[in-house]
Structure 1
Amino acid sequence: MTDNDESYARRAVALLDLTSLNDDDDDARIVELCHKAMTPVGPVAAVCVYPRFVALARNTLDALGGQQVQVATVTNFPSGAEPLENVLLQTRQALDDGADEIDVVYPYRALLAGDAASGVALVKSCKALCAGRALLKVILETGELVDPLLIRRASQDAIAAGADFIKTSTGKVKVNATAEAAEIMLNCIAVAGTDVGFKPAGGMKTLPEALVFLWLAERINGADWVSPRHLRFGASSLLNDLLRRLGAAPAATMEGAY
């Protein structure tokens, strides 16, 4: 591996949202996830877990000296179709449990049916709860929106409504992060001129796959823009490849993570 490859691998570790969103997750798996987050080459940016594990993840990371690792969780997940009052209840509870970041699924099915107002209302309402407490990352589910015009509309509306990040995917559908969707989303961020981040999620297992998105981000928004505040990789198996390339002990494979 070249020095450049090693540098990119180290950067990618620091941009990683190490994720476990499996139906059979339990306390032991989340504790293991938190241990993996404290890698031999430095901590990841965040761990992403279901809401019921937020407090456990925070307490475990703190005990490991990982106070700098953010705890992210998901709401309105994965369908994007829960009633707004339920989403707000989930979000409020996650914040009370110590979540640093909320990854909420945009009501993409409503947008597909011609209803853009529901998405704007959801993001505005969640932002009101998160303001001053947590980052709000809005999952657009671009693989289901498909149409570039809809991906652009969802990106623009989410940004205007207060999203701190826009994110491609839940990792629970057939098509997840793609370069085509990423380019549209990154261009929307650039045009808006706001301090909004971008998170591709799902399907990234190797450094070259992650670099597609890093290079797009650098080309569109500039090398200085790329940091954990503006770019995250939603993945878990990606960590194995990064640590292997860096000559560190690889983390065990986590099935079902996105």
Structure 2
Amino acid sequence: MTHPNPSSTPWSEDLRASAQLALACLDLTSLNDADTEVDIARLCAKAQGPFGPVAAVCVWPRLAAFARAQLPAHIAVAAVANFPDGSTDVARAVRDTSEIVQAGAQEVDVVLPYQALMAGEDRVVAQLLEAVRKAAAGLRLKVILESGVLQDPTLIAHASRLSLDAGADFLKTSTGKTAVSATPQAARTMLAAIAADPRANMVGFKPSGGIRTVQDAAIFIAATEELLGRAALSPSRFRLGASSVLTDIEAVLGGKVAPPPAKPGTY
């Protein structure tokens, strides 16, 4: 993709460039318990908007095949596994993953067993992630750390290392189902873990939850560029799990007055 901000202008000041990148890297998501094919059809239509396509749509496994049938090949389908609670039930996580594979989706977003991690049960965490990695062979695997629950940078860094060791293609902050989702502080911890990994130039980062404006997105874009380099700013290595930001993206790209930025601390 052509880089939207070829200059040294900060992303927070070049909102049009930030909006273009955010759109191209957006995982447009619907994970409501009552979602139906009607809801996903609407989501897939939004994924092909007037300013260009998003990177992917993210749905429940039971709706992944339907989403795949609604979309052109260049928009990926992601679906969630072990979601949103991050249980230690390996069989359940593998069952979710197998359903996603059989649906023809391209990406799996799996929740790391974060409660087990907090209890010091590293081997339990590793076993589940390794089983999902094996079941998702050939698909892009994003591991959701639930960083807003882990909170402690040491725990977030440890979860990042376990995920990378298990073969994660992306580290993702949050399910969006907890009180605290993506924060700039957690993002920097996760990005530093990626930068220190032997596969640093292949692994991506996905902040997710609570990103409501292009200004919000620009914070995570800038941090990713700082810690992983400009080459990381493409859909293959940067995603945004932030469906609510699409309205602001389209306002910025359409030259309309955008809503005011979210207040600090609401990411």
Distance across 2 between alignment mates of 1:246 and 1:43: 13
Q: 1:84 to 1:242 in 2, by over 3 A?
A: same
From 238, 245, 253, the equivalent of 2:252 is: 245
Which of 108, 133, 140 is the matching residue for 1:135? 140
How do 1:194-205 residues align onto structure 2 when only pairs under 5 Å count?
Answer: 194=199, 195-205=202-212
Q: CA deviation at 1:82?
A: 4.8
Following superposition, the deviation at residue 90 of structure 1 comes to 1.2
Query: What are the Cα deviations for residues 143-199 of structure 1, in whole angstroms up to 9, with x where unaligned?
Result: 111111110000011001100111000000000000000000000000003111110
Distance in 1 between the 2:84 and 2:255 partners? 33
C-alpha separation between the residues in 2 aligned to 1:175 and 1:8?
Answer: 24
Match status 1:95 vs 2:95: no
Q: Hey, what does 1:43 align to over in structure 2?
A: 53
Alignment of 1:43-62 (within 5 A): 43-61=53-71
Of 125, 147, 156, the match for 2:152: 147
Number of the residue aligned with 1:126:
132
Partner of 2:117: 111
Given that residues 78 and 105 in structure 1 are in contact (C-alpha distance below 8 angstroms), is that contact kept between their aligned partners in structure 2? yes
Q: One-letter code of the match for 1:165?
A: F
- After the TM superposition, list the runs of 4 or more consecutive aligned residues in structure 1 that deviate by more than 3 angstroms: none
Determine if the alignment matches structure 1 residue 33 to structure 2 residue 43: yes
Distance 2:245 2:88 in 1: 30
Alignment of 1:155-234 (within 5 A): 155-194=160-199, 195-234=202-241
1:61-82: per-residue Cα shift (whole Å, max 9, x none)? Answer: 1xxxx21000000010000015
Letter in 2 for 1:142: S
Distance 1:93 1:248, change over 3 A: farther
* CA deviation string 1:132-152 (max 9, x = no partner): 2x1010000001111111100
Q: Which amino acid aligns with 2:59?
A: V
Q: Does the CA-based 8 Å contact 1:40-1:248 persist in structure 2?
A: no
How far did 1:216 drift? 0.1
Compute the TM-score of the two structures, normalised by the length of structure 2: 0.88
Cα distance in 2 for residues equivalent to 1:238 and 1:151: 25
Amino acid at match of 1:235: A
Aligned mates of 1:22, 1:3 — CA distance in 2:
34
Q: How far did 1:86 drift?
A: 1.3
Residue in 2 that maps onto 1:75? 81
Distance 1:172 1:3, change over 3 A: closer
1:99: Cα distance to partner? 1.4
Unaligned runs of 5+ in 2: 1-11, 257-266
**Residue equivalent to 1:255:** none
Kindly state the Cα deviation for residue 248 of structure 1 after the two structures are TM-superposed.
7.6
C-alpha deviation, 1:3, in angstroms? 9.5
Q: What runs of 5+ residues in structure 1 fail to find an aligned partner? A: 250-257
Q: Could you give the per-residue CA deviations for residues 189-233 of structure 1, whole angstroms, max 9, x where no partner exists? A: 000031111100000010010111000000011111211011100
Tell me the distance in 2 between the aligned counterparts of 1:124 and 1:83: 13
Letter in 1 for 2:233: V
**1:16-62 C-alpha deviation (Å, 9 max, x unpaired):** 0000001121111100000000011110000000111001100011x
CA RMSD of aligned residues (A): 1.6
Which of 209-218 and 82-91 deviates more? 82-91
TM-score after normalising by structure 1: 0.91
Contact 1:41/1:248 (<8 A) preserved: no
Q: Which residue of 1 is the match for residue 3 of structure 2? A: none
Q: What does residue 253 of structure 1 align with?
A: none
By percentage of residues, which structure has more helix?
A: 1
